[in-house]
Structure 1
Amino acid sequence: MAKNVRIMNCRPDDVFRVLGDAWLYPAWVVGASRMRDVDEAWPQRGAELHHSVGVWPFLLDDTTVVEDWSPPNRMVMRARGWPIGEARVTLRVRSYGHRCMVRIDEEPVSGPATLLPGLVTTPLLCWRNSETLHRLAYLAEGRAE
C-alpha cells in the first residue's frame, strides 16, 4: 500500500470543499484528464464520477465511486483504471495547529495491478500521490476561507 502525507496551509473543511466538487477531480488527481459526468448525489456513499484517464488520443473512460464520505476527516473512493484495475483510495484529514495534515493511502484491489508485487507498485503510487497531494494543496489553500 502506498502512503503519502502532506501538511497544508488550510483547514480540513477547505480540503473537503475541494473533494466535494467532483468537477475538480482532474485538477488534483494525477492521470485523470477530463470529467464526463457526475452523479447528483456526489459525494455521498455510492455516488459516481465519470472521468477519462490518459492523454488524447489514448483516453480510457472510467468511473470512481464513493465508499465513505465522513467530512472533515475521511473519504474513501474506489477508483477504476482499466485495463490496469481498481484501487481503494483513502484520504484522511486532521487539524495540525492552524493547518491540516492530509494522508492518502492507495492500494490495488482488483485487476492485473494486484498481481504485481508491492515492491513495484508502491514506489510508483507514492510518486504519483505525492504530486496528487501537491495539486490538492494548491486548490484547498487557494480556496481557503
Structure 2
Amino acid sequence: MAIRHQVIEHPPEAVWAVLEDPELFGEWVVGTSASWALDERWPQIDAALAYSVRLGPWSYEGRTVVRRTEPPRWLELEAESGRLGTARIAIEMRPWGGHTLVIVDEHPLRGLGGVLHAAPLDLLIQLRHRSMLPRLARTVERTSPKADTAGPPEKRSPATQVGG
C-alpha cells in the first residue's frame, strides 16, 4: 500500500482550506498542471473537479470525485484516469499539537491499474507522494495567514518530514 505522512506546521483548518479549493489541486498534486471545479458543491460528496496533465505536446484531462468528506479531518477521492481506471486517494488530517499530521493513502481501485496493482506501482505512488506532501505544505504556507508557530522565524520550516 502507498501510505505516506507528513507534519504540516499549520492547523487542520489551514490544510482543509487548501483541499477545499479545487483550483489549488494543480499546485500540489504531482503530475497535474491545472484543476478546476466541475460544479459549485466541491468538496461535498459526489462533487467533482477536473484536472489536466501535460507531458510535452500531449495532454490529458481527468476527473476526481469526492467519495467521503468530514471537514477538516477527512477527504476521500476517486480519481478517474481513463483507460488506466480509477484510484482511491484518502487524505486524513489529524491535529498534532498546533500542527497537522497529514496521512495520504492511495491505491488503484478499478480498471487496468487495479488489475495490475503490485509493489512496483506502490513504489511509484510513494515517490509521487514524497514530492506531493511537501508541495501541499508549501501551498498551505503560501495561502495561510501567518501564525506564530513555535520558535523564532529563522528556525521555522514550512513542513517537517515525519517519514513513511
User: What's the TM-score bracket when you normalise by the shorter of the two chains?
Assistant: over 0.9
Distance in 2 (alpha carbons) for counterparts of 1:62 and 1:115: 20
Unaligned runs of 5+ in 1: none
The question of whether the paired residues in 1 share the 8 Å contact of 2:93 and 2:102 is answered with yes
| Paired residue secondary structure (1:10) | coil
Deviation of 1:75 after TM superposition, in Å, equals 0.3
Structure 2 length normalisation: TM-score?
A: 0.83
Aligned partner of 2:141: which letter? E
Is 1:5 matched with 2:2? no
Distance in 2 (alpha carbons) for counterparts of 1:83 and 1:20: 27
When you count strand as a share of all residues, which structure comes out higher? 1
Is 1:21 matched with 2:27? no
Q: Which residue of 2 aligns with 1:128?
A: 128
Distance in 1 (alpha carbons) for counterparts of 2:54 and 2:48: 19
The Cα offsets for residues 89-119 of structure 1, whole Å up to 9 and x where unpaired, read as: 0000011112110000001011111222421
Matches within 5 A, 1:1-145: 1-35=1-35, 37-145=37-145
The question of whether the paired residues in 2 share the 8 Å contact of 1:84 and 1:112 is answered with yes
The question of whether the paired residues in 2 share the 8 Å contact of 1:22 and 1:38 is answered with no
Figure out how many residues of one structure are paired with residues of the other and give that number: 145
The question of whether the paired residues in 2 share the 8 Å contact of 1:11 and 1:144 is answered with no
Distance in 1 (alpha carbons) for counterparts of 2:83 and 2:53: 11
Deviation of 1:38 after TM superposition, in Å, equals 3.0
| Paired residue secondary structure (2:135) | helix
Rg: which structure is higher?
2
The Cα offsets for residues 14-73 of structure 1, whole Å up to 9 and x where unpaired, read as: 000000000111101111112354311111111010111232421111100001111111
Distance in 2 (alpha carbons) for counterparts of 1:34 and 1:97: 33
Bigger mean CA deviation after superposition, 13-22 or 92-101: 92-101
Aligned partner of 1:142: which letter? R
Structure 1 length normalisation: TM-score?
A: 0.93
The question of whether the paired residues in 1 share the 8 Å contact of 2:53 and 2:59 is answered with yes
Moved over 3 A (4+): none
Unaligned runs of 5+ in 2: 146-164
Q: Which residue of 1 aligns with 2:150?
A: none
| Paired residue secondary structure (1:136) | helix
Aligned partner of 2:57: which letter? P
The question of whether the paired residues in 1 share the 8 Å contact of 2:22 and 2:36 is answered with no
